[in-house]
Structure formats: C-alpha cells, structure tokens
Chains A and B, each alone.
Chain A
Amino acid sequence: MITEIGNILLSLSAALSLCLFSFIFLKKVINIDNCFQFSKNISLIILIFLLFSFLLLSYAFLTDNFSLRYVATNSNLTLENIYKFSAVWGAHEGSILLWVLVLAFWCFSIVLFSKRIPKKIIVDMHAVIGILLFFFLLFILLTSNPFDRIFPIPLNGNDLNPLLQDPGLIIHPPMLYLGYVGTSVPFAFAVAILINGNIKLEWLSWLRKWVMTSWMFLTIGISLGSWWAYHELGWGGWWFWDPVENASFMPWLAITALLHSIIVSEKRGIFISWTILLSILTFSLSLLGTFLVRSGILVSVHAFANDAERGIYILIFLAMVIGLSLLLYFVRSPRLITYSNYNISSKEFILLINNLFLTVTTFAILLGTLYPLISSTLDLGKISVGAPYFNFIFSALTLPIVFLMSPAIFSAWEKTNYNNLIKKLGLFFIFSLIITYFFLHYYFEVENFIIFLAIVIAIFTILSSLYKLSETRTLSANLISHVGIGILIIGITISNYYSSQYEIIMKKGANIAIQEFQIEFNDVKNKVSKNYTSKVGIFDLYNNKDYLISFFPEKRIYNIQKNIMTEAAIHSTLTRDIYIALGEKINDNSWVVRIYYKPFIQLLWLGAILMVLGGLFGIFSNLNLLKKN
C-alpha cells in the first residue's frame, strides 16, 4: 500500500511541477493575478504531497516495513528510533527525496514573503523551480525510487551505515540541503530577471535575504559535517579536502561572493550583470556538488551510494540547466540597465576585489577537485590532489580576503579617502601585531611567519569590527560574521600548527605526560548495546597529580555490517582539547592509543556559531524592515 501511495504522490507532484512550469507561457494569456494565485496554490499542494510522501517513508522506517527495498537496505529492527528516522535520508534514494522536499519548501516560501516583488517575477521563479522539481522527481521515479518493493521480504534489514549513526549526522544533511537547495532561489530569480529583462534595485534587498538564508544553512551544514568528522573519524581532523567536502565548500564560497556583490548592486546599482551571473554559477556549483556526491566518480569518504546510470541522468540535467541558463544570460544580460562607473577608492572597489579573490579561490578548489578526473581522462596517470595543494591555495587566497574586511567596513560608498583609512586602521594593525606577539609568546613559540601573519590579520579583523560596533552602536550581520571569521581563522591556524599527536602502545596502568597533563590508561571494558558491542577504554587525566576527569573512548563493532567505528573521547576547554581514541588491540594488556592535544580548536566552533548568528541576525533584521514597509 505504501508503495502505491508513495508513487502516486510523487507522480502527482511531478505533473503539478510541470503545471507550475507552464505558467511561464500561460501568464501571457491568463490574467497575472490569477496566474499568481494558481502558482501559489500549486506550489503549496506540491509541498504537501512531498511532505506526505516523506512522512510515509519515515513511517515505513519507524514501523520496520522491510517490504520496501530502501528500508530493508538501510534499517534494522535493533536500530534506535531516532536513527530509524534519520535513516530516511541515510542513503541515495531518501536523500534525493529530501532534496526535492526542500526545493518544494523554498518554492512555496518565496510566495510568503513576496509583497515587494511583482507577481510576474514570482510566477517565473516558480516556473524555473517547477522544471527543476519535475526533473528531480522524474529522476526519483525512474532511477531512485525509495518506494520500490523487495521480494522476498527480508525478516530483518541490513542496518544503517554505522558511520551515520551519530547525533551530528541526524541534522547535518537537512541543514546542508536547506543551504544547497536554497541557492535555487537566487538562480530562479536570475533567470526570471533575464526573461523579463528589467530589474529594480529594491528587489535585490529582497533577494539578499534569501541568499543570506541559504548562506547561513550552508554554514551550519558544513560546520556540523566538520564537527562530526572531528568526533567520529578518530583522527583528530575536521577537514580533509575530500571531493564531497569541496562540493559543499565551493557553493559556499560562491554564495559568499554573491552576498557581497548583491550588496554592491543594491546600494550602487553596479555589478548587476555580475550578480546575476554569480547567482547562476552558485546554483551550478550546487548541482555539480549533487552530481559529484551521487555519481561516485571521485574517491571520497562519502561514497555511500553511487551508480553510473544515475550519474548520467544528473549529468544531462546539469548540462541542460547550466547550458541553457548561461545561454540565456549571454543573450539577455546586455539588456539589463547597469551602471559601471565606480571609483578605485571606494567601498565598492574593495568588495570587487573580495569577489575576485573568492571567485579565484572557488575555481582553484574546483580545479583541484576535478584534477584526478582530468588527468585520468588525458592519460596523465592516476593522481590524487591532497591537502598541501588546497592548504596552500586556501591560505594564499583567503588571507587577503580577510585582510580586506577591515578597510571594507570602514570605507564609504562612492568615494573614500584611503589616507584617512590607513591612519585609522594603521593603529589597529599595530595593536594586532602586539597582541599577536604576546599571545603567541605566552602560549607557544613564534616559529612561522605565515602563522604570525594569519593571526595578526584575524585579530585585526576582530578589533576593527568591534570598534565599528562601538562606534555605530548597532549590531549588524556583517560585523558579527566578520568577528566569527576572525575567531575561526585563529582556531584553524593554531590548532593546525601547534597541535601535538601521540600514537603509542600503552599498557594498562601506564602513564604518558602531555604538556602539563598526565594521562593514565586504566583498563578496557566490554560494553554490549542494542545493535553494537564495544570496547571502552578508561583513561584518567591528571594535572600535577590532581585528578581532573576520566575519558571513555570506544571502539564499536556493529552487529550487522561488522563495521568498526571509533568514538573518540574529548575533553574541551576554551584553550585546548584533549582527544583520545582507542586504536588496535595488541594483546590483553596493551592497546594502540591515539592522543591529540589541540590548542584553541574550540575557537573554530565558536567562530562558526558567530557566523551563523550573523546570518540569523541579517535575515531577521530584514524581516523587520519588511514589516515596517
């Protein structure tokens, strides 16, 4: 029964999406107010249908309905209920369903806040999202139907990938998708503008809110992914430049650029054409990311599900969407009225440089991600591009961007006096130099010029943002987020360069001294849980003979898939993390133990939280503006 209802709901939604698309033509025949009403109602019905089909699948998971192939391959009787629910998006079919659901959600949401936008633009935006919905629903129905049956019906399921049985992974995919798919809104806007041929600057402040929403969700999604990797993979790392990580990071960089170029277009009426192009490129990168994750053409830790047939479908779709929208852009963008006079000494010029750097960074990461593919196609050998390339590119290109934040904040639109700016900021810069010097000297030894420079720039950004805050006495999205970036950079730099790691064989009862601490390895106990058994290490942390806390790192073996999972135990304070992971068993008395000492890594999460808060603030201050109008 579930299969039939599910398929009917998906098919109806696909048909309705085509209706949504048809209004792009019908609006010439039917009164626009009626079109708008229809379009709004249809988008609501699609959302309800898809939500219902999603809940139906969740119900199948929660009731262990193994007659569905998708449930049978991704769940199990002994799985905890919360993971039965998150297993809905634990593999390919369900995550594409979630993708489509989120798309329908954004599609309907744009109507709710559309008072300031002409109805024909909204109808066209719906048409664009409608055709996207149609193709993705077709994709589900033809190649990845989560409602497909399995026969004979297995008595028990194959269990959810143990890597995904973690609290961080319950909300990581939905957040990431809200951000990923959210880039379809500026894309649909860009296409609608190109079709209609005119743009008003006030529409851009509306669009900015959507861009910021998508940016915020992407930030949350990426941070949660890192947080999960740090806690779950047991290697003390939080970012691996894995193709799938890059797939989410490229749209993030592009949408960050878009966020800044929209502001310029909105305030000064320039770079409009660029803003439109960037909207298209950002969504293209999101689609590319979906393709990379779902086709499995690159080696990745995320290669949970891959299939060449599905890959070709998404690739054709990707080529069509990007190709057609670029074509539309080339033909139509010259018609958009745009002013291109700007002064070299002005805020808009600094933001232009920011956009340039962000775009170059995005393409450098794109190149690094696709390079293994390019070299294997051109028979240059099998090559993998590793962290050294990305780290170099990233620090070389990001530091200038962060450095420019302070002048951007303090400069004025149209005309700014760089001499005054230098005088004002010079003082902050010297301050930052002094603070960095003492800070690094107090905790570590100054060794590396680049590290020093990175921290100076980060502190410089934090100081000048805080000063601006005290000057204007109003919170703003950019100041909060920029402080967040500054803190994030300090966290990344210090935890990367000053962390120490110990991979040792420890006997029970042995001690190891790390920095000012002593860690004692007490014992390893067995623990039996519902769907896994585990070895739990017991470690005590002392600071000069004073007992502080115990660690319980685990090594789990999941019953069904026999996967071995590491659960690291971490003790955090603001200035350092101590991270213990249980390695291999040597004999009854001794184990391989991995211990990491990571200074200031908490700043990383703190910085990310501030960035998200900045985004939230930006979205809601915009909403207030809406109400006043």
Chain B
Amino acid sequence: MNFRLQTLLIVLFLGIIYFLYTGLGKDPTLIPSPFIGKTAPDFKSTDLISGKVITNKDLLGKFYILNVWASWCYGCSLEHNYLMNIYKNNKIDIIGLNYKDEKNSAINWLKERGNPYKNIIVDENGNIAIDYGVYGAPETFIIDEEGVIIYKHVGPIEQDFYNKIILPLMK
C-alpha cells in the first residue's frame, strides 16, 4: 500500500478519535451567548401584577435571576417547581420576563402554580427578549449587582441549579 495513503488514513483515524474525545461530556445543545460579561440591555416596561413602570435601573444593587417564561411554554412548567424552591428558601431575587404572553393567562398560570417572581416584566411583543438575545422560553440569566450578565442558561433549569450554578457564581 502506498505510504502516503497509509499516513493519511492514520492521521484521519487519530483526528477523528481526538475530536470525538473532546466532544464527550459536553452538551451539544449549549449555545454560547455574546451577552455574558456585558451590561444587561436597558428596558422600560410595566410590572405584570402591580402595573407599575419598571426599568432595569430598579433592579441594580443585588444579584438576581432573570427568568424568561410564558404560560404557553411547556418547558417553563417543568422548571417552575425548582424556581419555587429557590424563592421559598429566599435565596436570591427572581425577576420574571413574561414573554409574548396574554396578561390573563399569565396571571392564571401563576395562581395555579405559585408566583416565585419579585417583579414580572411584561414583554408582550418580545422586543425586550430580542435585546437580551433570547432564543425562546424558558431561558435564565444571572445578573450581578452591577447589572452585568454573568451567566445564561437555555431551556428548563435543573433541580440543583442554585447549588451548582448560582452559588459558585455569587462567591
């Protein structure tokens, strides 16, 4: 057999094994966000429950979770209990971003399941979500006391989200 062809096959083989190895254990659905490390975009909207005006200036000075959700969103109902747990243990403020939703169905949804949110930003046509680079609901951002996005999670959060992700970030 041709020596060059032999070398090519070996390189190809080792290359494939290497790339397969590096891919192991990574989550292929993880999408990097260009927003991490940047200041959270400005917005001005109303609160779903109180109807008061709310901007991101109101949220400064404290770590908080920004959770994108909607009553039509199946994944949101999956993670809701975990958010409720974080809320009940009073660990960190959770701000909701009610994404492309109807006011009444959103309020009913919360009545049924409980409301973990300190404030809920209404984003009826999805414009705020676009500014935040949201792919879809649910998505969860962690924002520090200076208003900088330090973490982003796409899809429903897991049970140990607080202990595994938030706690190390706050330290």
Contact = CB atoms under 8 A, between A and B. Distances in A.
Given A330-B1, A373-B23, A562-B74, A296 B16 contact: no
A322 interface: yes
A87 B160 CA distance: 30
Interface string B9-29: 110010011111111111011
B61 interface: no
B1 A333 contact: yes
Given A319-B17, A333-B1, A298 B10 contact: no
Interface string B122-134: 0000000000000
Contact of A372 (B1, B10, B28): B28
A323 interface: yes
Contacts of A330: 1, 6
A329 B5 CA distance: 13
Interface in A371-386: 372-374, 376-377, 381-382
Contacts of B31: 382
Contacts of A296: 28
A509 interface: no
A366 B13 CA distance: 12
A288 to B, nearest CB: 8
Interface string A317-340: 011001100100110011000000
B32 interface: yes
Most buried by A among B9, B24, B25, B74: B24
B32 A322 contact: no
Nearest to B74: A562
A464 interface: no
Contact of A308 (B9, B13, B24): B24
A297 B24 contact: yes
Contacts of A312: 21, 24
B28 A299 contact: yes
B25 A311 contact: yes
A323 B16 CA distance: 12
A53 interface: no
B27 to A, nearest CB: 9
A326 B23 contact: no
Contact of B32 (A288, A315, A370, A382): A382
Interface in A285-325: 288, 291, 295-299, 308, 311-312, 315, 318-319, 322-323
Contacts of A295: 20, 23-24
Nearest to B3: A330
Contacts of A376: 23, 26
Contact of A334 (B1, B16, B18, B23): B1
Contacts of A334: 1
Contacts of A333: 1
A315 B13 CA distance: 12
Contacts of B22: 373, 377
A273 interface: yes
Size range of the chain B interface in the assembly: 20 to 34
A315 B19 contact: no
B13 A298 contact: no
B17 A315 contact: yes
A251 to B, nearest CB: 15
A323 B74 CA distance: 46
Contact of B23 (A297, A318, A366): A297
Interface in B20-53: 20-26, 28-32
B19 A373 contact: yes
A376 B29 CA distance: 12
Interface in A359-396: 366, 370, 372-374, 376-377, 381-382
Dominant secondary structure of chain B at its interface with chain A: helix
A315 B1 contact: no
Contacts of B30: 382
A296 B19 CA distance: 14
Nearest to A281: B9
Contacts of B28: 296-299, 372
B33 to A, nearest CB: 11
A174 B8 CA distance: 35
B58 to A, nearest CB: 34
B26 A297 contact: yes
A330 B7 CA distance: 10
A370 B12 CA distance: 12
A315 B26 contact: no
Nearest to A366: B16
B14 to A, nearest CB: 9
Given A326-B13, A333-B1, A562-B74, A297 B29 contact: no
A326 B24 CA distance: 24
A376 B32 CA distance: 11
A297 to B, nearest CB: 4
A264 B1 CA distance: 18
Contacts of A382: 30-32
A322 B23 contact: no
Interface in B112-170: none
Contact of B1 (A273, A308, A318, A370): A273
A312 B16 CA distance: 14
Contacts of B16: 288, 366, 370
A298 B24 CA distance: 9
A308 B25 CA distance: 5
Contacts of B18: 377
Nearest to B32: A382
A401 to B, nearest CB: 22
Most buried by A among B13, B22, B28: B28
A75 to B, nearest CB: 22
Given A330-B6, A382-B31, A322 B13 contact: yes
A370 B19 contact: yes
A443 B9 CA distance: 48
Contact of A311 (B6, B9, B24, B74): B24
A311 to B, nearest CB: 5
Contacts of B25: 308, 311
A571 to B, nearest CB: 31
B131 to A, nearest CB: 21
Given A273-B1, A295-B24, A377 B6 contact: no
A317 to B, nearest CB: 11
B17 A298 contact: no
A323 B12 CA distance: 11
Nearest to B9: A326
A315 B30 CA distance: 22
A286 to B, nearest CB: 14
15 contacts: A273-B1, A295-B24, A296-B28, A297-B23, A297-B26, A298-B23, A298-B28, A315-B17, A318-B20, A326-B9, A326-B10, A330-B6, A370-B16, A370-B19, A373-B20
Given A333-B1, A381-B32, 7 more contacts: A297-B26, A297-B28, A298-B23, A315-B21, A318-B17, A370-B20, A373-B20
